[in-house]
Amino acid sequence: MTTNENTLHNPNAYLTTGVNKRKANIFWWLFVSMSRGLAAFIAIYSMLSLGASLIGNVYNQNAWWIDFSVLPPVFFLVVQPLLTLTLGLFALNVPRSVFSRIMTALPIFAGLFTAIINTIEVYTVAQSGSITLGFPLPFSFFVSVGLFCILLSVLLGHTYLGSLRSRKTRRPLSVLLILFSFALTMVLFPVGQMFCFGTTDYRVKVDAAVVFGAQVFPGGWPSAVLQDRLDTAIEFYEEGNTPLLVMSGGIDVEGTNEAQAMRDYAIERGIPPQSIIMDEYGDTTKDTARNTVASLQAAGITKVATVSNFYHLARIKMLYLAEGMDVVTVPSQPNKDPRFPLFNIVREIPGWWYYWLQNLVE
């Protein structure tokens, strides 16, 4: 029976078909709008990274979402600007013609291919035992999913949007959805870094391990958060991964010396005093990075690990890179303080962006 004959025998068939088609169009309108917001975020992020590179900033901003070094240098120089441009154009307008869709899709496909390679590399390194994944999916996996969604929107979006594109009432709603998607990505981006990168344990042999301070109670007893960091660092030392622990912390308003309290705790746990040095001016994460890079490099030490909570490590890595030192990160194990640190995670989101932008212009 043909479609027309079926409609004659069943008057509700046409209505059902129309409703399903409308649902499909609304789904694709939502999907494409959200993809455009994601594309806008990546385009602006990548454009700022490229701009920083052009003015001589050696800090690799792009490494936080994709590693183009897997591509040949010439290919990389072409793909990155084209990917940035095409994502920006797609964020502004969905391509209509077959030719424009294909030309827009090619650089996005190259980016997707690169992100997939990045994902495979992470699992390969984890399989070798060099790192231990704390979160089952690497950040590059989510980048791959995002680029795949954008690619689908580029290739198929215009076909399904049809009747919805011509409705003026949809345009302001599309703009709102794009802005919402952009803002949501800005929040999820550093959160993804915290969980995917921050929970990964890069436990390798180094020349020194820097332990980041936290609250110390009156009388010199470390808080639960700080005890977790210290216990992890002590375990790292006892495993033979480092001969030196650097205790970095500030002096609070009550005069409590965090670094001294950390040193005392480690000695009480059996660490030899000669294996501990203190940085008593680590009032902030940036201060610790700057102070320890200067002192360790002066001593000829370049292989360094950093120990802190998982939500803190992405920002730590960023600040050390900005100071010219690449460090490995070791997340503290939540033995004394097993609570989920929601407040700290939320606080880290603006902090991550603040330092990212600051490093971008310096």
Distance CA 85, CA 40 (A): 10
For tokens 């480690």, what's the residue? 266
pLDDT above 70 for 18: no
**Reported pTM:** 0.88
pLDDT at 154: 95
Tell me if residue 52 falls in helix, strand or coil.
helix
139-165 and 73-92 helices, crossing angle to 10°: 40
139-165 and 98-128 helices, crossing angle to 10°: 160
pLDDT at 169: 54
Mean residue pLDDT across the chain: 88
Q: What is the pLDDT of residues 124-178, one digit of tens each?
A: 999 999 899 999 999 999 999 999 999 999 998 777 655 444 555 567 888 999 9
Measured between its terminal Cα atoms, the distance across the chain in Å is 71
* Pairing mode of beta strands 245-248, 208-212: parallel
Q: Which two tokens stand for residue 116?
A: 């997939």
Q: What is the pLDDT of residues 77-121, one digit of tens each?
A: 888 899 999 999 999 998 989 999 999 999 999 999 999 999 999
Rounding to the nearest 10 degrees, give the CA dihedral for residues 263, 264, 269, 272: 60
Q: What percentage of the chain carries pLDDT values higher than 70?
A: 89
Q: Which two tokens stand for residue 176?
A: 């709102």
